Amino acid sequence: MVSIAGSKKLKRQMAPIFWGITRKDSRFVVTVKPGGHSKHLAIPSAVFIRDTLKLVNTLREVKSVIYGGKIKVDGVTRRSLHHGIGLMDVVELEGIPDVYRLVPKNSFVLQPIKINPSEKTKKLLQVTKKATIKNSKMQIGFHDGRTLISDVKVNIGDTCVMQIPETKILDIIKLEKGAQVIITSGINAGHVGKVIEIKEGTFVLPRRALVDIAERQIDIPSELVMVVGKDKPVIQIE
């Protein structure tokens, strides 16, 4: 009988570079199953523990950690080898004092950084879609697949400072002139800069942001930047 869930493995040669895996070991590696993050912008939990953080050596050891409920993503225990860990996700491991957040860094789409444990209940979520529903309420969609029904006024491209795992909005940071942003993709991934100008899109060109980074300015589609603060980042991102 044909499986409708898709393949559970991926050829190592086809895996994204930011996973941090070796290329000449066994032929296949665990892959990401459908979830909140795009499969091309996420790391499977099994690969994250074994290859990215290098905390264990074998898949058997990874299974012991994950099936034992020893990994939390955004404060929620995850027991799947294939759960996708993506942009701004907060990861905790039982028995290890370090808390990790995944951010763009050094031109890689995702890299883990150690953060202060006091920040593990905060996460930045970029608004990717919104729709007005019954009783004039707003249904907001975020970059990690979450949705939230709220009365708050936000625009696509804005960032919500969220309390996790409760998914409660603590603050809203507008994508506007003067805001601090981080580049989330491309050769400049990981650079933090200041928005000089927001250029509205046309029928041909997408909405764009002119960003000042490292004493130079780049013109980039606004979907490739995430607002992280007004004058400085509101949480640790590097």
State whether 16 and 44 are in the same domain: yes
CATH number at residue 191: 2.30.30
Asked whether residue 236 is domain-assigned, the answer is: no
| Residue 110 near residue 100, CB atoms below 8 Å | no
The rounded mean pLDDT for the chain is 91
Rounded to two decimals, the pTM is: 0.90
Q: Which amino acid is at 211?
A: V
State whether 107 and 34 are in the same domain: yes
For 180-200, the pLDDT digits (tens) are: 999 999 899 999 999 999 998
Q: Which residues of 108-133 are buried (b: 16+ CB within 10 A; e: fewer)?
A: bbbbbeebeeeebbbbbbbbeebeee
Choosing from 134, 158, 173, the residue where a domain stops is 173
Domain count along the chain:
3
Confidence tier at 1 by pLDDT (50, 70, 90): very low
For 13-68, the pLDDT digits (tens) are: 888 888 888 777 778 888 898 888 988 899 999 999 999 999 999 999 999 999 99
Asked whether residue 92 is domain-assigned, the answer is: yes
Choosing from 68, 101, 116, the residue where a domain stops is 116
- Considering 15-24, 88-97, 195-204, 212-221, the range whose residues carry the highest mean pLDDT is 88-97
The boundaries of the domain holding residue 193 are 180-229
SS (H, E, C) 56-82: CCCHHHHHHHHHCCCEEECCEECCCCC
Give percent of the chain above pLDDT 70. Answer: 97
